[in-house]
Chains A and B, each alone.
Chain A
Amino acid sequence: MTRSTLLRFDPDEIRRRTTSLEGVGALLAVPVVGFVGGPPGIVVGVLLAVCVSFVDAPIPFALAQFVPVLFDLTPAELVALEVVFVPLLLGPLSRTGGGVRLPVLAAVSFVVLSGVMAFVATSLSGWVASVVTLAVVGFVGYGLHRYELVRLGLTRAEQ
Chain B
Amino acid sequence: MRPTRRSRAAVAVAVLFAVLAIVFDHPVLLFGTVGVGVWLLIAQYDAARAFVRIDDDLVVSVTPAREQLIVTESTDVTVSAELQTPSTATVTVTAEPPVGTTVVDGSTTLTLASGERSASTTFVFEPSVAGEFAVPPVAVELTDAHRSFAQVTSKPVDASLLVEPRRMRDVHVGRGGDRASSAFGTHPAQRGASGLVPAGLREFAPGDTIARIDWKTTARLRYPHVREFERDDSQQTMLVVDHRTTMAVGRQGETMLDYAREVALGLVSTAEAADDPIGCYTVGDGGVTFRRQPTTKASGFAALRSELRTLNPTEPTEPTTSSSPDDGPVIRPITARTAATRLRSDQSDFATRLAPFFQTSDAYVRRIESDPLFEAVRRVRNHVRGTRSTVILTDDTERKRLRETVQAARRDDDAVLVFITPRILFEPTDVGTVERDYERYVAFEEFRRQLDHLPRVSAFEVGPGDRLDEILSQERTTESR
**Closest Cβ–Cβ distance, residue A7 to chain B (whole Å):** 10
Residue of B nearest to A64 (CB): B32
**Closest Cβ–Cβ distance, residue A16 to chain B (whole Å):** 11
Residues of B within 8 A of A13 (CB): none
Q: Would you give 19 A-B contacts (Cβ < 8 Å), ordered by A?
A: A2-B90, A2-B147, A4-B148, A66-B29, A68-B28, A82-B31, A93-B46, A96-B46, A96-B146, A109-B42, A126-B21, A126-B22, A129-B21, A130-B21, A133-B33, A134-B15, A137-B38, A145-B1, A145-B44
**Closest Cβ–Cβ distance, residue A99 to chain B (whole Å):** 12
- Assess whether A28 is interfacial by the CB under 8 Å rule: no
Question: How far, in whole Å, are A136 and B133 apart by their CA atoms in the complex?
Answer: 49
B residues lining the A interface (CB < 8 Å): 1, 4-6, 9-10, 13-15, 17-19, 21-22, 24-48, 50-52, 55, 88, 90, 92, 141, 143, 145-148, 150-151, 153
Residues of B within 8 A of A97 (CB): 88, 145
Assuming the contacts A68-B28, A78-B28, asked whether A140 and B41 have C-beta atoms less than 8 A apart, the reply is yes
B31 close to A1 (CB less than 8 A): no
Interface centre among A98, A134, A140 (most CB of B within 10 A): A134
Residues of B within 8 A of A147 (CB): 48
Q: Which 6 A-B pairs have the closest CB atoms?
A: A4-B147, A137-B37, A65-B32, A148-B48, A58-B39, A130-B18
B-contact 0/1 string along A102-137, CB 8 Å cutoff: 100110011001100110010000110111011011
Q: Apart from A148-B51, A148-B151, list 10 A-B contacts with CB within 8 A.
A: A1-B141, A4-B5, A4-B143, A58-B35, A68-B28, A110-B35, A110-B38, A126-B21, A133-B37, A144-B44
Assuming the contacts A6-B6, A145-B1, asked whether A61 and B32 have C-beta atoms less than 8 A apart, the reply is yes
Assuming the contacts A109-B38, A126-B27, A144-B41, asked whether A133 and B4 have C-beta atoms less than 8 A apart, the reply is no
A-B Cβ contacts below 8 A, count: 165
A62 close to B22 (CB less than 8 A): no
- Assess whether A40 is interfacial by the CB under 8 Å rule: no
Query: Is chain B's binding surface mostly helix, strand, loop or mixed?
Result: helix
Assuming the contacts A5-B5, A93-B46, asked whether A62 and B32 have C-beta atoms less than 8 A apart, the reply is yes
Question: How far, in whole Å, are A26 and B38 apart by their CA atoms in the complex?
Answer: 20
Residue of B nearest to A73 (CB): B28
**Closest Cβ–Cβ distance, residue A56 to chain B (whole Å):** 7
- Assess whether A3 is interfacial by the CB under 8 Å rule: yes
Interface residues of A in 55-104 (CB under 8 A from B): 56-59, 61-63, 65-66, 68-69, 78, 82, 85-86, 89, 92-93, 95-98, 102
